[in-house]
């Protein structure tokens, strides 16, 4: 592996670690908002999945795909 590739991989690795560390260093109240957003998304996905399994029509959010 040449020197440029090693530098690129090192920068990518450092970026991923900083991204993970940023989530750990956020205040608790900011993390609660993120957890709430995730739970809302999961409920929405679960509801859409129930509609698909039951054969009901799911509200299409992209008209090009639903034609």
Contacts of 66 (CB under 8 A, 6+ apart): 60
* Residue 66 near residue 60 (C-beta atoms within 8 A): yes
Asked whether residue 65 is assigned to any structural domain, the reply reads no
pLDDT exceeding 70 applies to what percent of the chain? 64
Asked whether residue 66 is assigned to any structural domain, the reply reads no
Tens digit of pLDDT for each residue in 34-57? 777 778 888 888 887 777 667 666
Asked whether residue 59 is assigned to any structural domain, the reply reads no
Report pLDDT for 59. 64
Tally of domains in the chain = 1
Asked whether residue 27 is assigned to any structural domain, the reply reads yes
Range of the domain at 50: 3-54
CB pairs under 8 A, 24+ apart, for 1-10? Answer: none
| Of 1-5, 7-11, 53-57, the least confident | 53-57
């Amino acid at each position: 592996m040449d020197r440029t590739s090693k530098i690129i991989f090192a920068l990518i690795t450092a970026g991923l670690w900083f991204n993970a560390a940023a989530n750990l260093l956020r205040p608790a109240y900011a993390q609660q908002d993120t957890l709430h957003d995730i739970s809302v998304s999961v409920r929405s996905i679960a509801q859409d999945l129930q509609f698909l399994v039951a054969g009901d029509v799911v509200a299409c959010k992209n008209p090009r795909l639903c034609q």
